Chains A and B, each alone.
Chain A
Amino acid sequence: MSFEMWAEKYRPKQLCDMVDQKTIVERLKSFAQSKNVPHCIFAGPPGTGKTTAALCLARDLYGEDYREHLMELNASDERGINVVRETVKTFARSRSIGEIPFKILILDEADNMTSDAQQALRRTMERYTGTCRFIMCANYSGKIIEPIQSRCAPFRFSFLPREEHDTYIKHIAERENVKLLSDGLEAIFEVCGGDLRKAINTLQASASMNKPVDSLLVYSVTGKASPYDVQKMLTLAINGDFLGARKQLRDMIQKYGVAGVDIIRQIHKEIFKAEIPEPWKIKLVAITGEIDFRLVEGSDEEVQLSALLARIVEAGSEIKKGK
């Protein structure tokens, strides 16, 4: 077993190493051969190879010293308008030395950029096309403003199909001498749903226990790895333990730094699965929507989500009355 993060160790280095997203890879290869790249949008769910494809393309274009011609920015970390104005502009306008006249800027998680920043970016992209090409990676291309979309070639990445996922994970398990049982592999796919980064991390964490990787081990690892247990919180609330549910909420937000919007997304998913009276389900959706909007408006996450929990407590007491 090697002692680094396997997700990085086995990240493909060149476009020809990429086993999945075949049609996309073919088009990118033709970019590399013609030594010309348009602005691109790589859209698709996490762990499907967007960043990898961008890095591979850069390596194929510039060779081993590709780092000198490349800038990687993560919009979640630097999403303000100032970053676009300063960092991006400075990088974009200076000329590249070498055979290829342009540099590449990878803007990861671009859908997390504010629309102001995107507006500012739009002019930069246009003005410095000669010296810099942008690759925007995003989960949802819809969150990227129309004018930018129209300037970019779109690429849609999809989750890995089952066979490709299995081949890839098995390959890593073999190389790392991990005993991976077939139900373990199945469990990994079930839990990670084709998100390859998550799958590899799950494999490595399971392997770190020095036991054969079976489904039980995988489930226990993923259980420990998910810092928040929305279901548990909801169960507490439905059973009338408001303070207990709130404690759970507080831990998620403060101890594990889970974002309020992520929690609300989970709650929304769970509502229809929950054992509450039917009429309450759509009522809770209405409240969830309202609370979601309040969060967007900038209200206090914990206070607003507590209010949602209080309503779930109310729904829970309705059930007891009904019985």
Chain B
Amino acid sequence: MQFLYTAWTVKHKPESTVEIVGNTLAIKALRDWLQSWEKGVPKKRAAFLHGPPGVGKTVTVEALAHELQMELVEKNASDYRTEDAINRFAGLASQYGSLFGGKRIVLLDELDGLMGNADKGGVKAITNIVKTARSPIVLIANNAFNPRFRTLRSYCILIEFKKPSASTILKNLQRICEREGIQPEENVLKFIAQRAEGDVRSAVNDFQALAQGKKQLTYDDVSWLAHRDRQDSIFNVIKLIIYGRTSLGAKKALDMAAVDLDMLFEWIYENVPAHSMDALAMADVYRGRIRASQDWSFMRYVVDYMTAGVAMARQNSKVSGWVPFRFPSRIMMLSRSKAERAMRKNIGLKIRRKCHISVSRASKEVLPYLRIIFKNNTPMAAGIAKWLDLDSEMVEYIVGSKAKTGAITAFLS
């Protein structure tokens, strides 16, 4: 697919702790604890990092492993949920030194995923591993104070990661700007940083969505962000729909959407791959039927087609890399071209008065010729402008340049 790029969250991931924004105290605490292993196994054999999403918990562990030259064995707990599975890998990883004789860190990420009855015993298995660990174990969760973790907590040092301030996020965005060679307008980055509400990852994602492939970034390019709720959610919703594996999953994504159905339709339409277009068109057909019949019970078919229909039309389920979902540009064009349509209509009315032709045909059949004449022949343009009684704004719309407009109006007076 042509729109796959590397995610900037990966491409510009901090390689050392110096590049990580904010949370300096937490980073220092983790570093001290990791270094204490050199003097023998400390009292608490695991560090429990907790804090809101996107503040740099995982990145910190990765950067420290790199700096301290330790091997990182990383597992995502949402993938290894049962007691058996956890024992298999974590037990192994913590008992022995690394292949190269060096130290190793065992990272268990996203512990919040270990919930519900299906994962019964999972936390207990982790607790047991921690009790007997020979290598440092790092646990990560958004909420360490979940009652499930009560026993586990007592064997860990707790390190809290906080949301970095907007100004620290700003620094991170500036670093990416330099590396990508983007020149943003002054308030653009500030705006994105503020909107992220402390979530560095979503700020970078947002920034990529807006800036990918651009060299300049103006405030107009980003101001639409203000019109929607947390950007994170809409990107996720679309991802769940376009790359959904089950019909039900795609349908459920709708509940997460913080935008109305028409807006969501535009988001999907903007980002839909060609092979899912049929399903989306059917959703639109039902929208038309609702308009015609005023029977809103058809809405369920609109919903089915635009979620499950789009998801099931997918040909391959693999999503590699990062898909830069685009903002529905049709909406921007619509608002921008509203003024343009009004202008076209007004010129059409002027033409109609003289040429016995409807406004729509005037703009389709006469306006294109006027454009050519106005661009190439100033005296003739002036004559026609006078004859049609066009004002200078109309002339400028037709000729498309200020200089030529000046020449034409000068010719008139």
A contact set with B: CB distance below 8 Å: 1-5, 7-8, 46, 51, 55, 72, 74-77, 108-109, 112, 197-198, 201-202, 204-205, 208-210, 221, 224-227, 242-243, 250, 254-255, 257-259, 291, 294, 297-300, 302-304, 306-307, 309-311, 313-314
7 nearest A-B residue pairs (beta carbon): A3-B383, A307-B281, A310-B277, A208-B377, A76-B358, A242-B274, A225-B368
Per DSSP, are chain B's interface residues mostly helix, strand or loop, or mixed? Answer: helix
22 contacts between A and B (CB under 8 A): A2-B383, A3-B380, A3-B383, A5-B384, A5-B388, A76-B358, A77-B359, A205-B369, A208-B372, A208-B377, A209-B376, A210-B376, A225-B368, A227-B364, A227-B368, A243-B2, A298-B292, A299-B285, A299-B288, A303-B284, A310-B278, A314-B275
- Complex Cα distance A259/B360, Å? 9
In the complex the two chains form, is B292's CB within 8 Å of A76's CB?
no
- Is the C-beta of B382 less than 8 angstroms from some C-beta in chain A? yes
Distance (whole angstroms) from the CB of A265 to the closest CB of chain B: 13
Q: Which of B336-379 contact A (CB under 8 A)?
A: 337, 340-341, 344, 352, 354-361, 363-366, 368-369, 371-373, 376-377, 379
**B227-264 interface mask toward A, CB cutoff 8 Å, 1 = contact, 0 = none?**
00000000000000000000000000000000000000
5 further A-B pairs in the complex, CB-CB below 8 A; given A77-B358, A304-B285: A3-B384, A76-B358, A300-B288, A304-B281, A304-B284
- Is the C-beta of B330 less than 8 angstroms from some C-beta in chain A? yes
Count: A-B pairs, CB below 8 Å: 146
Contacts of B3 in A (CB 8 A): 243
In the complex the two chains form, is A307's CB within 8 Å of B366's CB?
no
From A5, A209, A226, A254, contact of B333 by CB (8 A): A254
Distance (whole angstroms) from the CB of B413 to the closest CB of chain A: 15
Q: Which of B1-49 contact A (CB under 8 A)?
A: 2-3
Which residue of chain B is the closest to A112 with respect to CB atoms? B358
Per DSSP, are chain A's interface residues mostly helix, strand or loop, or mixed? Answer: helix
In the complex the two chains form, is B356's CB within 8 Å of A297's CB?
no
Contacts of B366 in A (CB 8 A): 5, 201
**B375-397 interface mask toward A, CB cutoff 8 Å, 1 = contact, 0 = none?**
01101101110111000000000
Given A3-B387, A76-B359, A303 and B281 contact (CB-CB distance below 8 Å) = yes
Contacts of A304 in B (CB 8 A): 281, 284-285
Given A5-B355, A108-B358, A310-B274, A257 and B341 contact (CB-CB distance below 8 Å) = yes
Contacts of B269 in A (CB 8 A): 303, 306
